[in-house]
Structure 1
Amino acid sequence: MTMQPWFTEAKLGILVHWGIYAVDGVAESWSFFGGDLTRDAYMRQLDGFTASGYRPDDWALLFRRAEAKYAVLTAKHHDGVALWDTRRTDLSTAASTPAGRDLVGPFADAMRRQGLHVGLYFSHCDWSHPDYPSIRPSSLHRPWVDNRYAMPAPGDEDPARWERYLEQVHRGQIHELLHAYRPDLLWFDGAWERDERQWRMKELREEILRLRPDTVLNGRMLGYGDYATPELGVPIVRPEGPWELCYTIGDAWGYQPGDAHHKSVRELVRVFAETIGHGGNLLLNTGPMEDGTIPPEHADRLAGLGGWIRRNRDAVHGTMAGLPYGHHYGPSLISEDRRTLFLVCFDAPRFFTELRGLRNAVLSVSVLGTGEELGHRVVGGFPSRGVPGVVRINAPVLCDPYATVIALELDGEIELYRGSGEG
């Protein structure tokens, strides 16, 4: 599977969870699936969804200010409510809410005007469609999916209804998105309720790429996606291949008025640096209010993260995953020519910063954002045995309020020592 270069170079994307669940501020789809409220109560939110303050150009400007390179909108969540004028069901913001219009097209157009790649989230499952709970998988690897919105009772299966769902709704709506909006990325979710054969994932991938060969597909396609999508925590071990961390600014994905645990800019910078230092992208989530307004706390965090990225642009763009753990106490990145090493320091160095296991000579050391030149020296080592000493770098006078990045210019492509150091 060939990954589009724009994705691996992007580093930051914005995920937008927006739907009728913002009206009452309840959990998206899960609130009726899990029984926190009835489906009728959940669907009454259709009557209050106005999108009256929806200005996608403002979103795009904010995302660009955050230094994001792509954005993903929840075109359809598990509740089955489409944010575009789908012809496959009558459950959409265009047909069933006071908003009365397509919300996906303006999003795609606005993002492209600001140079952002367009991603659309689409749920494989649809807990509102009558044909969806019509077959069962060979095994329920997540027992809680045995729910009337997802599964028929044992013995009540109807394969013909399942085939109708796949053709008319699943593939049908994906075709609509591909033809109408030409997404650069299809971000799938909700595949866990069926197996690969039942979803026809191989055929789905082939069909999408036949229609739009450059479309990036996320990993939630049971083995037929392009990259992995861990959630809510930077992996301890660097994942193989391209990947993306899905992460929230608050605790919730969609807008919930009681969600007041907004992560600070410092926390978001840390997660971002750890993610790109591991070779991944950060997909940072925001949940707009019912009218389409992004909460000001989220806008502030996005702007703050973007400011840090601009100050440290050389370490973010045109770089690759950095050093394995043990060489530096923090994330690091390496320039594409492998001749510049960037060290991220979350805590302001008080006396010096150390770098272990570097075979190269260091030509110069400086602080990104300020240009301050730093002195350095090599301490210890066992040169006759090929064991390099420790590079000890003087602490800068001025440090970044969130994370300081130190750039080391090397005498050639980076070479590391990975031995035990024994003589």
Structure 2
Amino acid sequence: MQKWFEEAKLGIFIHYGIYAVNGVSESWSFYNGRITYEEYMNQLQGFTASNYDADQWADLIEKSGARYAVLTTKHHDGVALWDTKYSDLNVVARTPAKRDLVKEYAEAMRKRGIRLGMYFSLIDWSHPDYPTVYEGGKEPENPAQANPYSSPAGGKQDEARWKRFLEFNNNQLQELMTNYGTVDLLWFDGDWERSAEQWNLPDFKTYLLSMNPNVIINSRLQGYGDYKTPEQGLPITRPAGPWEFCTTINSSWGYVPTDNKYKSLNQIIRMFCDCISMGGNMLLDIGPKEDGTLDPRQEQILLGLGDWIRTHEEAVYGTTEGIMNRYYLGGSTLSKDRKILYLFVYDDPKENICLKGLCNSIRKITVLHSGKELEHEIHGGVPWFDIPGTTWIYMSKEDTHDQVTVLKLELDGEIEMYGGSGAVVTHN
């Protein structure tokens, strides 16, 4: 795992493709029969990217506070956003856009020092050699009922054609990894439709690392990825190892004009705080319109998130995961030397903030956005049994930030928390 990823905290996911023309669900709309394949592919004629400006995207992503970006270079529909020589199903050859969008994206992100991520669907429901085998090579009980976009659907498996498809994927990935400078992260999707053996793992990963030994690969590689990617539902228990929570800004990954179910800025910030409190990153998705512009609501959320991060930067970057919520009913992070505890206060306090189990003495407590110093006192505790009391930090509504407030607790040494179940006081 590369150090930059574990310290990045925030990435921006970009779902951009022909599905934005009619605002339909990316790839799944034809796979699940909501529209025909022909209707879906007719969107090629309306994909202009006429106002696509990768530099504007990069400016917005930089202002959001994100340290990396991930673009859908090819979704399950098989439509490539770059000038691939291995298929004419790409936006250069088949759409009015006639531009290598990946090239412009890569140049713009690299110019601003934003780490470069490429989403690539292992699935390709348009490629004739893809639906030639069943998952795991096992024919289902009712093969005729299988989806013809992903399997032979009653026909015989053809291993030779499947190997040809794997070569096709290898070739396209080689283009992505060698034609656009250093790719920092590969974000795969669709591994569930085939087994590790069918994806030719671990040799496939070895092939990818041969082009860049430092590339990070997400978990969707049948157990051979580098970090976990919980999706849409925030983890309740911290995932083991490095992880990233990917989520939409409304309810859709791509641009759907009728989707007005947007998360509020406050909700986005709280989710972000929850992620970094548990040592993870958040990959927040945006869905540009077919012309390459963004819905103003998406822009405003990214700008608002960036404003909050810049105000509270020391509690975000250069920190590690915080204390468990059994000690504090909210999120938190710790400075790398573990001598400063940052508490995220999500709601307006009635009178005070409660912190349990802290063994350290507190030297100073400040409200991070204002610099105001707060008072605190400790009630209870049995020091001669090494059982700490309860810390009450006095805080009023006037001390709060408009979104999420951060309190900075400077401790007398490395943080030490009590995790016991108390004891009977047998002597005083």
Shorter chain as normaliser: what TM range? over 0.9
Which residue of the partner structure matches residue 58 of structure 1?
56
Gaps of 5+ in 1: none
Shift >6 Å, 4+ stretches? none
Q: Aligned partners of 1:383, 1:370: CA distance in 2, in Å?
A: 34
Q: Aligned partners of 1:140, 1:339: CA distance in 2, in Å?
A: 58
Q: Aligned partners of 2:312, 2:39: CA distance in 1, in Å?
A: 48
Which residue of the partner structure matches residue 420 of structure 1?
421
Which residue of the partner structure matches residue 329 of structure 1?
329
Which residue of the partner structure matches residue 127 of structure 1?
125
Q: Secondary structure at the match of 2:227?
A: coil
Which residue of the partner structure matches residue 8 of structure 1?
6
User: CA contact under 8 A between 2:146 and 2:154: conserved in structure 1?
Assistant: no
Q: Aligned partners of 2:44, 2:153: CA distance in 1, in Å?
A: 29
User: CA contact under 8 A between 2:69 and 2:114: conserved in structure 1?
Assistant: yes
Which residue of the partner structure matches residue 28 of structure 1?
26
Q: Aligned partners of 2:325, 2:334: CA distance in 1, in Å?
A: 14
1:188 aligns with 2:213: no
Which residue of the partner structure matches residue 81 of structure 2?
83
1:162 aligns with 2:134: no
Which residue of the partner structure matches residue 339 of structure 1?
339
* TM superposition shift of 1:155: 4.5
Normalising by structure 1, report the TM-score.
Answer: 0.97
Counterpart of 2:174, as a letter, is H
User: CA contact under 8 A between 1:140 and 1:193: conserved in structure 2?
Assistant: no
Q: Aligned partners of 1:214, 1:294: CA distance in 2, in Å?
A: 32
Farther off after superposition, 132-141 or 173-182:
132-141
Q: Secondary structure at the match of 1:130?
A: coil
Gaps of 5+ in 2: none
* TM superposition shift of 1:43: 0.2
Normalising by structure 2, report the TM-score.
Answer: 0.96
* TM superposition shift of 1:183: 1.1
Q: Aligned partners of 1:200, 1:356: CA distance in 2, in Å?
A: 51
Counterpart of 1:329, as a letter, is L
Tell me the alpha carbon deviations over residues 364-410 of structure 1, each in whole angstroms, 9 at most, x when there is no partner.
Answer: 00011111100111111111211100111110532111110101000
Q: Aligned partners of 1:267, 1:324: CA distance in 2, in Å?
A: 21
Tell me the alpha carbon deviations over residues 140-193 of structure 1, each in whole angstroms, 9 at most, x when there is no partner.
Answer: 89x9993100000345111110001101x2111111100012311000001111
Farther off after superposition, 353-362 or 153-162:
153-162
Alignment of 1:324-403 (within 5 A): 324-396=324-396, 397-403=398-404
Which residue of the partner structure matches residue 94 of structure 2?
96
Q: Secondary structure at the match of 1:165?
A: helix
Which residue of the partner structure matches residue 232 of structure 1?
232
Counterpart of 2:120, as a letter, is F
Q: Aligned partners of 2:254, 2:383: CA distance in 1, in Å?
A: 57
* TM superposition shift of 1:201: 2.5
1:72 aligns with 2:70: yes
Q: Aligned partners of 2:268, 2:134: CA distance in 1, in Å?
A: 40
* TM superposition shift of 1:221: 0.5
* TM superposition shift of 1:211: 1.1
User: CA contact under 8 A between 2:321 and 2:333: conserved in structure 1?
Assistant: yes
Tell me the alpha carbon deviations over residues 282-306 of structure 1, each in whole angstroms, 9 at most, x when there is no partner.
Answer: 0000000000001110000000111
Farther off after superposition, 284-293 or 306-315:
306-315
Q: Aligned partners of 1:39, 1:101: CA distance in 2, in Å?
A: 24
Q: Secondary structure at the match of 1:256?
A: coil
Q: Aligned partners of 1:85, 1:237: CA distance in 2, in Å?
A: 42
Counterpart of 1:153, as a letter, is A
Counterpart of 2:403, as a letter, is Y
* TM superposition shift of 1:275: 0.6
Change (3 A) 1:216 1:408: same
Which residue of the partner structure matches residue 275 of structure 1?
275
Farther off after superposition, 132-141 or 244-253:
132-141
Counterpart of 2:176, as a letter, is L
Q: Aligned partners of 2:409, 2:210: CA distance in 1, in Å?
A: 45
User: CA contact under 8 A between 1:358 and 1:416: conserved in structure 2?
Assistant: yes
Q: Secondary structure at the match of 2:170?
A: helix
Q: Secondary structure at the match of 1:21?
A: helix
Change (3 A) 1:243 1:140: farther
User: CA contact under 8 A between 2:387 and 2:418: conserved in structure 1?
Assistant: yes
Q: Secondary structure at the match of 1:13?
A: strand
Q: Aligned partners of 1:60, 1:146: CA distance in 2, in Å?
A: 42
Q: Aligned partners of 2:316, 2:258: CA distance in 1, in Å?
A: 34
Counterpart of 1:179, as a letter, is T
Q: Aligned partners of 1:212, 1:308: CA distance in 2, in Å?
A: 35
Identity of aligned residues (%): 50
Farther off after superposition, 350-359 or 7-16:
350-359
Alignment of 1:248-259 (within 5 A): 248-259=248-259
Which residue of the partner structure matches residue 174 of structure 2?
175
Counterpart of 1:312, as a letter, is H
Q: Secondary structure at the match of 1:302?
A: helix
Q: Aligned partners of 2:154, 2:34: CA distance in 1, in Å?
A: 25
Counterpart of 1:54, as a letter, is Y
* TM superposition shift of 1:324: 1.2
Counterpart of 2:336, as a letter, is E
Alignment of 1:206-245 (within 5 A): 206-245=206-245
Counterpart of 2:108, as a letter, is A
User: CA contact under 8 A between 1:348 and 1:403: conserved in structure 2?
Assistant: no
Q: Aligned partners of 1:300, 1:153: CA distance in 2, in Å?
A: 46
* TM superposition shift of 1:327: 0.5
Q: Secondary structure at the match of 2:191?
A: coil
Counterpart of 1:133, as a letter, is P
Q: Aligned partners of 2:349, 2:112: CA distance in 1, in Å?
A: 37
How many equivalent residue pairs?
Answer: 419
User: CA contact under 8 A between 1:140 and 1:146: conserved in structure 2?
Assistant: no
Q: Aligned partners of 1:154, 1:39: CA distance in 2, in Å?
A: 20
Tell me the alpha carbon deviations over residues 228-279 of structure 1, each in whole angstroms, 9 at most, x when there is no partner.
Answer: 0001121000111000000111100000010101111000001000011011
Q: Aligned partners of 2:120, 2:349: CA distance in 1, in Å?
A: 45
* TM superposition shift of 1:357: 0.3
Counterpart of 2:109, as a letter, is M
